[in-house]
Structure 1
């Protein structure tokens, strides 16, 4: 377990995705101009963690195409260690985003045969890192075949020495919610931290209240369940004891990457408080709420700028205000 004030290192396993947006200023009747931004839930989380100051390795299969070069540049510029990532000739995953009037994004994915889902057991074996205090994964890399089942096996091995964090990040356009429902009990048995959005819950447990859902996931094995509620904050449930934290007010540019930044803020704060590296045995509800309040701040700052552009630790809004490690509330 990491000492308080010593963040430890976190590994993030998953996909990179090119988020494609229309460039309205350059589009016209003769053609549609597009802008590609580097994204993907796990990659966004790795970027946000590194920018917050947590030593972060990204475990990804990154294409040698032009989008792959974009992904590598962003990850490296944010301070992410790519030494355990795999270079591959398979294409990158693309997501064409459509933003509504409130900045909420919906996506059309181009993902068949993409690099992100092709993990082999031997590739994953080379990423093992007993020095890390946490392995975070989820999203499409955990559910898409053939790689998803191998990622699950890798989590079971990593659990011997690290806290395991999972964000299902349900994508119903690519994978039926029933497939997530079938795997979720197994993921809870592997995970110490389960982070979902309110939208995820609506797809996974549509006829179940959030308190009851938390208790079901605790019974399956997850000790800390956090459900983000957008502008309303987050529901924090530790072994069935719950509290809601509020989100700071923010003028929203868009919500791209907000949940991923929340996860990064949560893991960064838990690491800084010395709670990662095992089964969260010393975690209290107060510390869990503190970590989620910090995470909500990180997410709000991400929403305040266009795209998945999480804040840096030395930015004025995240400078220490109470002398505690990892930033104040």
Structure 2
């Protein structure tokens, strides 16, 4: 089955990676287009799902980079807003395991300036799923407009949210205060183990799933890096294995996992409503596919998700 359109809403971020320079008084940066929602939209389009991206694109050098990258990946930008504000920049330093620590330059940038009017005319009649999350849901002044859009979208399409907590920009308690409301809007909640630690400190993953189910989210997936993922559908759970790969870095891996999950569900006609017909076996199949997509993203530098034809080779599962 050909998947229906998925609409993604959120930010683009210029990921600047620190590289060796000629002297101690110089700093070299390699800039790649990123941002959680943008990465998810790119991954969806490359996998073969029609992906429309609602974003605010600056006209600066980074904004032009974003636009070229998104269009080259096949992302529909017909509803992107031409913004006058500058782009958001994140400087990333990688540790020995490829994990990135970011510092953000995001004051008054384009991504957070959403207005209700900019989102009011978006037609969702062809959309099976709306995915959003990350900073667009919490950064003012646009966060309220994004939440209004989700509330309007919920009766029309499956809603997927990835909180993607960024404590350097927004205090975790701001996310905590809104999370129950997001679960009431969402059908799918995908988050990382790090997110869990910031949102519900010292809470076992299974207990966290039950809390979020009680708030309204039917499907909760907690990704745990090399240890795989915990899947919970209305409290019925499974643990998924990760996929062995040579890790260059982990930037964009979670976003690619989300794209793989939604793409797989979409190709089987399981998106478009409240997931009432979804079975745990459907979710575990989708997560196996998603782990392959994430592993391939980890095997290359930066947020560079795979194309559909790169998934032909069999993957090797590792224990959780």
- Answer yes or no: same fold by TM over 0.5: yes
In 1, Cα distance between equivalents of 2:288 and 2:106: 34
Alignment partner, residue 99 of structure 1: 94
SS in 2 for 1:166: strand
Given candidates 163, 168, 183, the residue that maps to 1:168 is 163
Deviations 1:278-315 (A, max 9, x none): 00011000000110111011000100111111100012
Answer whether contact 1:128 1:158 (CA < 8 A) is retained.
Answer: no
Aligned residues: 314
Alignment partner, residue 17 of structure 1: 13
Q: CA deviation at 1:28?
A: 1.9
Aligned Cα RMSD in Å? Answer: 1.0
Deviations 1:142-165 (A, max 9, x none): 110111111001001011110000
TM-score, normalised to structure 1's length? 0.94
In 2, Cα distance between equivalents of 1:283 and 1:141: 28
- Matching of residues 125-274 of structure 1 within 5 Å: 125-274=120-269
Alignment partner, residue 34 of structure 2: 39
TM-score, normalised to structure 2's length? 0.96
In 1, Cα distance between equivalents of 2:90 and 2:213: 33
In 1, Cα distance between equivalents of 2:188 and 2:168: 25
Q: CA deviation at 1:320?
A: 8.3
Deviations 1:246-305 (A, max 9, x none): 011111000000000000000000101111000001100000011011101100010011
Q: CA deviation at 1:92?
A: 0.4
Q: CA deviation at 1:35?
A: 1.3
Given candidates 283, 288, 291, the residue that maps to 2:283 is 288
SS in 1 for 2:97: coil
Is structure 2 residue 24 aligned with structure 1 residue 29? Answer: yes
Q: Which runs of 4+ in 1 moved over 6 A?
A: none
In 2, Cα distance between equivalents of 1:235 and 1:206: 17
Alignment partner, residue 7 of structure 1: 3
SS in 1 for 2:243: coil
Given candidates 286, 291, 297, the residue that maps to 2:292 is 297
Deviations 1:87-113 (A, max 9, x none): 111010000001001100010000010
Gap regions ≥5 residues in structure 2: 315-320
In 2, Cα distance between equivalents of 1:19 and 1:126: 31
Q: CA deviation at 1:33?
A: 1.6
Q: CA deviation at 1:129?
A: 2.0
Gap regions ≥5 residues in structure 1: 322-329
